[in-house]
Amino acid sequence: MEVIHVRCAGLDISKKDAKVCVRVAGPGRRKAVETVTTWSSMTTQVLALREHLAAEQVTCVVMEATGDYWKPFYYLLEDLPGVEVVLVNARHVKNLPGRKTDVADATWLAQLGAHGLVRGSFVPPEPIRQLRDLTRTRTAITRERSREIQRLEKLLEDAGIKLSSIATDIVGVSGRAMIEALVAGDRDAGRMADLAQRRMRVKIPQLTEALVGRFNDHHAFLARVHLDLIDQHTAVIRQLTERIEAMMEPFRGFHDLICTIPGVSTLTADVVVAETGADMRRFQSAKHLASWAGTTPGNNESAGRVKSSRTRPGNPYLQGALGASAMSIARTPGTYFNAKYRRIATRRGPQKANVAVQHALLVTIWHMGTTGTLYDDPGADYYSRLRPERARQRAIHQLEAMGYRVTLDHAS
């Protein structure tokens, strides 16, 4: 097999240390020389490893993406002159069964790298990495805030307060005012229901009934704890959003461009920029981007029989943001994506329709980012215009199934 890198290194990284195999190919058919050493994961040792690799004249370094433990090594080695640092997916470089040791893994990585049999993962530049940290932290804290709201709802249920049965958001303006009144010691259901504002005021009779319960001082103490935690999470989310907005300025053009897509909110656009790097040239095609994100069917076929077509693991943060956009699209009629969702959901169910819309969104984002053009919606009647005969026959069959006799006549 052809040797691409005569001097290659493979790193098997753990929390405390890394096994490093430096492989030097011998001339002709002579066996390559492989030397394995152990280095601590402390920064001083990683810097010493950097000097060691430079002294060995290594031209390629291959390491697995093991949790977050690869980051200290990658970030300190990525700018090593004349060295290609490749971060690989562990699923793509599995060792042979029975040879699973740290030393064997490092040697295996060095061998794969020497022959060019590895494919590097996408590691964005420093500004995008910082933006990723911010958006991912905001996502995590937003989820924690939602959990606190759920805990507060359970507490109210324990006290017999059925506020969540009437109000969609129990910590909205009206719901928060009622809970604050409960915590303050007010037990008059009518007076608390009168705190409702705007559209909630039409529900005052139902609220009066829902706010009758056995709320006591114990519940008031716990409710205060949950409300304070919700406020703390809200304040942190606001700070993170301000920081994200400031760091988004270099990518504002791409960000605002994809916000023209129906269903893509500002928060979704933030995640798309942070996860993809706002540079569609990194992806060979729209299909490549969709596959990287994990929104394309997998291939698992043997003997002519398809065993499974489940989507492969992809970027969970990007999938979460796009999934929320797809759910918003499903509830908003009058667009091409909504028509696509309904068309697929009828035949294959809402979950697969959601993934299909995610795929379509990524394809659209890639083309818009590549060409710089604004989104032009094909319209909710796109499929009817695409195949008018099929749409006409479907409508006729539906009416006939309801017992009608259909006669068509062209409008003058």
Give me the pLDDT at residue 52, please.
94
| Beta strands, E only, 303-343 | 305-308
- Which helix (H) or strand (E) is 218 found in, with range? helix 217-247
Distance, in Å, from the CA atom of 8 to the CA atom of 25, rounded to the nearest integer, reads 9
407 has pLDDT over 70:
yes
Distance, in Å, from the CA atom of 116 to the CA atom of 232, rounded to the nearest integer, reads 50
The conformation of residue 201, written as its DSSP 8-state character, comes to G
Distance, in Å, from the CA atom of 5 to the CA atom of 58, rounded to the nearest integer, reads 8
Residue 144 has which token pair? 């924690």
Q: 328-373: per-residue pLDDT in tens?
A: 999 989 999 999 999 999 889 999 999 999 999 999 999 999 999 9
Place of tokens 């705190």: 195
Distance, in Å, from the CA atom of 258 to the CA atom of 265, rounded to the nearest integer, reads 9
Distance, in Å, from the CA atom of 245 to the CA atom of 271, rounded to the nearest integer, reads 12
β-partners of residue 35 are 22
User: Residue range 297-326: average pLDDT?
Assistant: 84
Q: 161-213: per-residue pLDDT in tens?
A: 999 999 989 999 999 999 999 999 999 999 999 999 999 999 999 999 999 99
Q: 127-143: per-residue pLDDT in tens?
A: 999 999 999 999 999 99
| Beta strands, E only, 25-145 | 33-40, 60-64, 84-88
Give me the pLDDT at residue 352, please.
92
